[in-house]
Amino acid sequence: MHFKTSLRYFLLKRPEQLQYLSQRLGFSTQNEKVYESTYQALDIPRQNTADYCMSRFDKYAPYPALECSITGKRLTYADVQSMTQNFGSQLLASGLQPGDRIAALVPNCPEFGPLLLGALSVGVTLVPISPVLGPKEVSSLLSISRPRMVVTNDALLPGLTEAIGLTSSGEQIQIITVTDDSKTSAIPLSQFLQNDGGRYANRPSFDVDETLGILPFSSGTTGLPKGVMLSQSNLTSTVCLTNNVASGCAREPFDPSSGDDQYSFLSVIPMFHIFGLTMNVLQPLSAGAHVIVMPKFDPQHFISNLSTFQPTYLTLVPPLVMMLAMHPAITREHLMGTRVISSGGSPISASILDKLREKIHPDCEIKEGYGMTECPIICRTKKSNSPEKKNSVGRIMPNISYKIVDSETGNCAGTGSPGELLLKAPHLMKGYFNNDQANKDSFSGDWFRTGDVVITDEDGDIFIVDRIKDMIKVKGYQVSPTELEAEIRLAPGVADVAVIGVPHPQAGEVPRAFIVPSSADVSAESVQEFLSGRLAKYKQLTGGIVIMESLPKSPTGKVLRKELRAL
């Protein structure tokens, strides 16, 4: 079946029927068609992630590794290596063992690199937490992950203290601050690092397949955030695959003996997010890049950084790619040194890409990719991609097996036919943390169900058609409608509510709520005011609030979101 014909056929199907069937039907082994990546399989080292990423640090020693774009604080590769060893050593001295957990609640900062590598080097799991979450949201994640230590900064300490007070565990949590010259009761990181690193040299061994490297959180359609268990081998595999030139990595790791200039990354994507953590921290450090760290996004600061640093690499979310293309203050001079612009999270329109190409250097490559917290890199495009494949997210990465399963029949779909993408991969998560139901829902045997409907063509290129899950993607962040609905129901006078995502020119999607009031006093303004202090900014109802007498529902009581989207 031709691509456009099969796509039209799929779009004409009833979305609620597709979702119901994909949830209810077991996937058949009849007519099973398993695809393998078209790229040659890689020999992935069985190393802990820190040792793998730092394997070239000795020859990078005097070069800048991480630099704050605001304060100018700079860590060389020698600094990062020393801090990594001392942080890992002190974790062991503090009684932590492989498998124990610490959390990082910090904005983007140079210290995040050695904190992450230091924990990974001794088998301690890092739990990255968004600094824009409120105390109640942070408390929920702390209660699930139960870290023994949290690293934060002075500005976030009051909210963290409140969050710890709300946790259900009641366990003592040690607090470290990365703020220089801190006047708080938290232990300064500089003090924590004051050791000879002796315990690092005799660190305990651990199983890289079983020991979790990080425990990030991903919201799902079931509502509450889910801890994603990414092992050390998962992370090492992710970095190894990302660095593979044959499957789309733009260049080989930096070689100081070559005489070439060190290349640079502008890191604006949040480091707590899997995209930022893997693609703007671990991967560039493993390749000897100079990472310029933006603590938070500010339009003018972003523009000035483009001019000042002339970053070789820009790894961005689609709204920032749109800004590069459309903002009148960003000119060819700002992008003169940029050779790769990578994006992921949602598709970018052809008109935006055409505008962007007018500003970039002729040798600059625009790349799109596809991944998720559960499997950080699945596809990416290459410079050699044909123009007619501009809607593709590229080919499946090496070492990945996949199936495309028809949601109606449960059988494997053929080339050119839509179906849900199922995966097996060395960097696929071990599962969701302490969440048997989520694991049951997300796996069919040992195949992971992505929840994304795709089409593959004869060349193995992947085209994303739709998402089965009802997740809302706001500037690359995943927002759960169920989570928002639970919060809205706590507002006085709300009888019923449903939340959907609606298109937004800058954010991609934003949440919109449909509310059935039980009181005449309920208004859009009163609900927005109620939510303002309870949810992160990107979860707010930017798409608006619609007051209704009743929600459209099926005979079984399920909200008919299709009808809400049509309003």
Token pair listed for 550: 């009743």
Size of the chain, expressed as the number of residues it contains: 567
Q: How far apart are CA 155 and CA 203, in angstroms?
A: 33
Residues of the chain with pLDDT under 70: 1-31, 219-223, 345-351, 383-388, 407-408, 466-469, 554-558
**What pLDDT, in 10s, does the model give residues 319-358?**
788 889 989 999 999 999 999 999 886 666 666 788 899 9
The answer to whether the beta carbons of residues 264 and 291 sit under 8 Å apart is yes
Q: Read off the DSSP letter of residue 413.
A: P
3-state helix, strand, coil split of the chain in percent (to 5) is 30, 25, 45
Token pair listed for 131: 């600094």
Q: How far apart are CA 195 and CA 87, in angstroms?
A: 9
pLDDT of amino acid 31: 65
Residues 279, 280, 282, 284, Cα dihedral to 10°? 100
Q: Read off the DSSP letter of residue 23.
A: H
Helices (H) and strands (E) in the chain, counts: 20, 29
Give the residue from 39, 47, 27 showing the smallest Cα distance to 401: 39
Q: How far apart are CA 435 and CA 91, in angstroms?
A: 28
Token pair listed for 25: 């039907």
Q: How far apart are CA 181 and CA 185, in angstroms?
A: 12
Query: Cα dist. 225→45, 222, 238, 399, 485 in Å?
Result: 32, 9, 23, 29, 14
String of DSSP letters for 1-18? --HHHHHHHHHTS-HHHH
pLDDT of amino acid 562: 78
Contacts 24+ apart (CB under 8 A), 186-190: 186/152, 186/154, 186/157, 189/111, 189/151
SS3 at position 276: helix
pLDDT of amino acid 386: 63
Domains of the chain by residue range:
73-206, 472-566
Q: Is the dihedral of CA 453, 449, 211, 237 positive or negative?
A: negative
Q: What SS3 string covers 117-162?
A: HHHHHCCCEEEECCCCCCHHHHHHHHHHHCCCEEEECHHHHHHHHH
- The CATH architecture that domain 472-566 belongs to is 2-Layer Sandwich (3.30)
Give the residue from 379, 319, 354, 327 showing the smallest Cα distance to 509: 319
Query: Cα dist. 117→88, 183, 214, 532 in Å?
Result: 8, 27, 11, 36
> Within a 13 Å sphere around the CA of 396, how many CA atoms are in the beta-carbon half?
26
| pTM given for the model | 0.81
The answer to whether the beta carbons of residues 254 and 288 sit under 8 Å apart is yes
Please give the CATH number for the structural domain made up of 73-206: 3.40.50.980
**What pLDDT, in 10s, does the model give residues 377-395?**
999 987 655 666 777 889 9
Cβ-count burial 57-73 (b if 16+ within 10 Å, e if not)? beebbebbbbbbbeeee
The answer to whether the beta carbons of residues 192 and 149 sit under 8 Å apart is no
Query: Cα dist. 459→39, 248, 332, 339, 522 in Å?
Result: 12, 16, 35, 26, 55
Q: How far apart are CA 356 and CA 369, in angstroms?
A: 17
How many CB atoms neighbour CB 565 within 10 A? 12
The CA-based angle 533-434-437, given to 5 degrees, is 95
All residues at 6 or more sequence positions from 544 whose CB lies less than 8 Å from its CB, including other chains:
512, 513, 524
Query: Cα dist. 236→59, 78, 215, 376 in Å?
Result: 21, 21, 15, 11
